[in-house]
Amino acid sequence: MTDITIYSAVVCPFAHRTRLALLEKGIEFNLVEIDLQNKPADFTDVSPYGKVPAIKHGNERVWESAIINEYLEETFPEPPLLPKEPILRAQARIWIDFANTRFVPAYSSLLRSPNLEQQQAAAEELRNHLQFIENEAFAKLSKDGPYWFGESISLVDLTYFPWFERWVALKEYRGFQIPSELTRLRQWKHALKERDSVKAIANSKEFYLQRYAKFAPLAAAAN
């Protein structure tokens, strides 16, 4: 009997990260789906911020996806989802921070902003971030492997992929596609889509288009 429970919401990319980490590690867990528009009154007893994901491990609780995933890595070290070498672990944490502080805000700004000028600025910022990932991650860290750190999947891959599964929303509502010249990034996305963990909880394009429509106020496309 598992003693881990994850509080999740199927539409939430942050919760998606942690479900992928649990699946990649082969950890049994109970799943509690939270309606983010109608949260249980006692949900803050588990997640003080009132956000998903959060986990309970026995009598302990952990929240915030990046922190949960490192907790799982430390508590269930096999199979490893962070490199062993300290410098590569540092690099992994840098890229996770880049996702949280730069990539995700640009993505969200592009999708959610109703103002064309703001959309164009966010689109340019997101293009720059994607180019930076292509040049600094895949060209320097991946070598010939399909993942961020080469042949082995890591928490970094799981950190970014949920937004790429949802990319259909940016394409549909903002006309924004991954630039064709970013070949390594496109190969990485394809490799992740073929993972058993990803397939196990993948949602259809129609699912995301329906649910993200309300987050994409109408305005002219950014491209």
Q: How far apart are CA 220 and CA 83, in angstroms?
A: 43
What letter would DSSP give residue 58?
T
Q: Which one is catalytic: 12, 99, 123, 216?
A: 12
**Catalytic status, residue 12:** yes
Residues 77, 47 contacting (CB under 8 angstroms): no
Half-sphere exposure of 111 (CA within 13 A, CB side): 22
Instruction: Beginning with the edge strand found earlier in the chain, give each strand of the sheet holding 30-33 in spatial order.
Output: 30-33, 4-8, 54-57, 60-63
DSSP 6: E
Which active-site residues does the annotation give? 12
